[in-house]
Amino acid sequence: MAHWSFDGSLNESISNTAPITSTGTSFGTGVKGQALTLANGYALYPVISKLNLTNFGSITVSAWVKVDNNGSTASNVFSLTQGTATQTDWNTGLVNMLIETGHPKSTDDTLVLHPSYGTYNTGSLQLGDNINDYGVRETDFKTVHGTNQWVHYVMRYNAADSTIDVFANGIVVSNKNFRKRNTGPLTLPSTGAQALIGGFANANTGFALSPVQGFEGPFNGSIDELRFYNTALSDADISSLYQLELAGR
């Protein structure tokens, strides 16, 4: 449905849609071609027609990320939000792909991947998330060692069984006890969805009704090959995507 290759351009590649606002952006070496480099930066997009749906059902979002823990705040890779004039909180849109970079920067090389979603399929907001943390390490979830290294980060929501999973470098790493959320298809209350890369949906990125919260930090690092699918890719598909992009294909 959407693809950002970041090969010298911020434009979404399928529709050629440019951001309406961007700051702190440049381009560096990526996993495949060039990558977006953000220095306290973000890019906010207008409505993209293929993402402007009220009923998405299942989704998969994938991106390569290279980021370090900063010891204080979380970082957001990608959001699909309600419109800037509508959304009243950072997590009331459809998708947020967080990284809990508030972990100690000097002692911890572990990336904690924390995607979440919001759906309005019952008429009121329901939230769900998963994370490679909490419980018994390597039993309930898998550790991702990868600060300041390229990591393939994927979130998948399957509406058929209302499960959310997190993948890193082609394998499931999320908490097995947090998969089931019982929410059905992912829906937004109205059209007007906007994509936001590298920032939280708050007043700092153009969402005037959404207050800035203390855990929300700017993104410092790189993002490459961001893709949005309106289906739940299989485990094999996600593994293949990781292997292909790692090989530059």
Contact 97, 195 (CB under 8 A): no
Q: Which distant-in-sequence residues (6+ apart) come within 8 Å of 12 by Cβ?
A: 2, 3, 4, 45, 48, 195
What's residue 22's pLDDT?
Answer: 97
Looking at the chain, the number of H-run helices and the number of E-run strands are 1, 15
Which domain covers residue 142, as residue numbers? 2-246
CATH code where residue 82 lies: 2.60.120.200
pLDDT tens, residue by residue, 62-96: 999 999 999 999 999 999 999 999 999 999 999 99
- Burial (CB count within 10 angstroms: exposed 0-12, middle 13-18, buried 19+), residue 89: middle
How many separate domains does the chain show? 1
Strand, coil or helix: 241: helix
What's residue 20's pLDDT?
Answer: 97
Residues in the chain: 249
Q: Please state whether the predicted TM-score (pTM) of the whole model is above 0.85.
A: yes
